[in-house]
Amino acid sequence: MLDLGQVPIYSKDRTEKDPIVIAGGPCAYNPEPLAPFIDCFYIGEGEVQYDLIFDLYKEHKKNGGSREDFIEKMLEIEGIYVPKFYDVTYKEDGRIEAFTPNHPKAKAKIKKQIVVDMEESFYPDKQIVPWSKAVHDRVFLEMFRGCLRGCRFCQAGMIYRPVREKSKENLIDSAKELIDSTGYDEISLSSLSTSDYSHLPEFMDMLLDTCQNERVNIALPSLRIDKMTVDLMNKVQGVRKSSLTFAPEAGSQRMRDVINKNLSEEEILNGSKLAFDAGWNRVKLYFMIGLPSEEEEDIRGIAKLGEQIVDTFYTIPKGRRKGAVQVAISTACFVPKPFTPFQWTGQNTHEEFIEKSRLIKNSITRRQIKFNHHDSQTSVIEAVIARGDRRVADGIYQAYKGGSTFDSWTEYFSFDNWLQAFEKADIDIDFYAHRDRSYDEILPWDHIDIGVSKEFLIKENEKALKGQTTPHCREKCSNCGATEFNGGVCYEN
Ligand code: SF4
């Protein structure tokens, strides 16, 4: 984008005539691999500081200040991180030795900014309706931010803490306004884990009323499958009864406990049974391979769970079953992410992933099961960048120069190009992706404060290794540190 826009790629090469390049979003929580390309990073939810940033910019333009002056002024805004005002030194073995601010106003910790009261938060009621077909070509209703569950591999579950809900009345008002102003005939509910919305059945009844009056369809996201959600799916017209999605993430109960996916085999099988009974016949199952402490038994468990679901279909009396059952098993490769309890874990190698996929394939004995696995080469690159430091930026630049652009499209992805780029930039894949890190190592993202403490993440990692689970935030607070935001689920009741 920068190159096409004729904006110098490196921040240091930009002049007065160039725009100020600001990056944000979940990937920016570890800003370091992009540090030399970006003028300022913003850590947190945009609407909290947008006004302040734009006001500052207007004021600055009025006073005729330079680009550099403005970037320096940005240091005063909470959540803003300007990489050039920090120096990094490295130990001989390549690990970070120190990370030090080099400007008096540069903060030692950059604090995540969040909307604490979602009732008062801004939500655009006149959204842009594109002329061309867009990916999300419908009304989007954000019900809440954050996730209660605390899956240990999940970055979103940690960085969006704490859970903050909107009231059902507020949501219905927004839905009506958005339907009116956009003319869309479909509405989609968006949240990390929609089933955990605390007033889901009442809210859905209200939304169904609104949508039926307006002849608007409701697109349901993937829900935790239990009696309540099967009833709900039955009520919502237009939900196709062909495919049902579960994300058990791991094949054995031991492994699901390790990752804190509080989902039992019984719940999965009961959920499938309810859905088959209600007319579904296709199930998609999402898993991850390469999770910490994984053993052969856990891998075989993926195939076994698929087979148990096939068997469950045949427990429904013949007259009530619809068509033939199909179970699609998909596996992704585990990528350790910053700010998760697994941020210290080394990733499996490409060869290990291939071996594990082969094991699953060979363990499947039923023809009703289809198996797809995600290519591990992209996951290895992802692991280098996800937990990378500033030195990784050169590898990204070399890969770009070598032709890597639309890497998410498999036909454009070239593993060889990335390997060559990393070699040119002297980046050791093992060091970044496959190495276990120790708790006392300075991590490239340690200067970013998400409100969840490192002590909590360490405790969760230790519990994972013992196969111990942690209850979700509504069952019991586990003292993660997010109470400091003074809102959301931590203060319910
Ligand atoms: S402080 Fe407690 S309730 Fe709040 S997000 Fe953390 S674990 Fe959940």
Residue 239 reports pLDDT greater than 60: no
Supply the mean pLDDT for the chain. Answer: 94
Q: Would you place residue 245 in the very low, low, confident or very high pLDDT band (cuts 50, 70, 90)?
A: confident
For domain 115-238, which architecture applies?
A: 2-Layer Sandwich (3.30)
Residue 165, beta-bridge partner list? 144
Residue 38 reports pLDDT greater than 90: yes
13 CA to middle of ligand 1, Å?
43
pLDDT in tens, 284-299: 999 999 999 999 999 9
CA of 482, closest atom in ligand 1: 1
How far is residue 468's CA from residue 288's CA, in Å, rounded to a whole number? Answer: 19
Q: Would you place residue 262 in the very low, low, confident or very high pLDDT band (cuts 50, 70, 90)?
A: confident
How far is residue 302's CA from residue 285's CA, in Å, rounded to a whole number? Answer: 9
289 conformational bin, left if phi > 0, alpha if psi -120 to 50, beta if neither: beta
**Amino acid code (one letter) for 193:** S
pLDDT in tens, 147-186: 999 999 999 999 999 999 999 999 999 999 999 999 999 9
Please give the full DSSP string across 45-94, using - where no structure is assigned.
-GGGTHHHHHHHHHHHHHTT--HHHHHHHHTTSTTEE-GGGEEEEE-TTS
The DSSP element (H or E) to which 332 belongs, if any, is strand 326-333
CA of 480, closest atom in ligand 1: 6
Measuring from atom 8 of ligand 1, which residue has the nearest CA?
473
Q: Which pair of structure tokens corresponds to residue 115? A: 């909307």
Measuring from atom 2 of ligand 1, which residue has the nearest CA?
477
Contacts of 107 (CB under 8 A, 6+ apart): 75, 101
Contacts of 253 (CB under 8 A, 6+ apart): 264, 265
Q: Would you place residue 238 in the very low, low, confident or very high pLDDT band (cuts 50, 70, 90)?
A: low
Pocket of ligand 1 (CB under 6 A): 161-162, 473, 477-480, 482-483, 489-490
CA of 474, closest atom in ligand 1: 3
Q: Ligand 1: which of 160, 489, 491 to mutate, most ligand atoms within 8 Å of CB? A: 489
CA atoms within 13 A on the CB side of 253: 6
**Amino acid code (one letter) for 412:** Y
Q: Ligand 1: which of 149, 473, 479, 491 to mutate, most ligand atoms within 8 Å of CB? A: 473
Of the candidates 130, 127, 133, the one whose C-alpha atom is nearest the C-alpha of residue 190 is: 127
The domain ranges of the chain are: 11-111, 115-238
Q: Would you place residue 78 in the very low, low, confident or very high pLDDT band (cuts 50, 70, 90)?
A: very high
Q: Ligand 1: which of 478, 485, 486 to mutate, most ligand atoms within 8 Å of CB? A: 478
Report the pLDDT value the prediction gives residue 87, as an integer from 0 to 100.
98
Cα of 333 vs its chain's centroid, Å: 15
CA of 146, closest atom in ligand 1: 5
339 CA to middle of ligand 1, Å?
15
CA atoms within 13 A on the CB side of 484: 11
**Amino acid code (one letter) for 476:** K
How far is residue 425's CA from residue 161's CA, in Å, rounded to a whole number? Answer: 36
Residue 2, phi then psi, degrees to nearest 5:
-65, -45
478 CA to middle of ligand 1, Å?
6
123 conformational bin, left if phi > 0, alpha if psi -120 to 50, beta if neither: beta
CA of 488, closest atom in ligand 1: 4
Residue 77 reports pLDDT greater than 90: yes
482 CA to middle of ligand 1, Å?
6
Contacts of 10 (CB under 8 A, 6+ apart): 36, 37
Count CB neighbours of 188 within 10 A: 17
Of the candidates 196, 93, 182, the one whose C-alpha atom is nearest the C-alpha of residue 143 is: 196
Q: Would you place residue 233 in the very low, low, confident or very high pLDDT band (cuts 50, 70, 90)?
A: confident
pTM here? 0.94
CA of 477, closest atom in ligand 1: 2
pLDDT in tens, 301-339: 999 999 999 999 999 998 888 889 999 999 999 999 999
> Exposed, middle or buried by CB within 10 Å (0-12, 13-18, 19+), for 384?
buried
Of the candidates 345, 295, 432, the one whose C-alpha atom is nearest the C-alpha of residue 153 is: 345
Q: Ligand 1: which of 460, 483, 491 to mutate, most ligand atoms within 8 Å of CB? A: 483
Please give the full DSSP string across 386-452, using - where no structure is assigned.
HT--TTHHHHHHHHHHTT---TTSGGG--HHHHHHHHHHTT--HIIIII----TTSBPTTTTEE-SS
148 CA to middle of ligand 1, Å?
8
Measuring from atom 5 of ligand 1, which residue has the nearest CA?
162
Residue 400 reports pLDDT greater than 90: yes
Report the pLDDT value the prediction gives residue 152, as an integer from 0 to 100.
98
Report the pLDDT value the prediction gives residue 240, as an integer from 0 to 100.
57
480 CA to middle of ligand 1, Å?
5
Residue 30 reports pLDDT greater than 60: yes
Q: Ligand 1: which of 472, 485, 490 to mutate, most ligand atoms within 8 Å of CB? A: 490
CA of 452, closest atom in ligand 1: 6
Q: Which pair of structure tokens corresponds to residue 445? A: 């993202």
The percentage of residues in the chain with a pLDDT greater than 70, rounded to a whole number, is 99
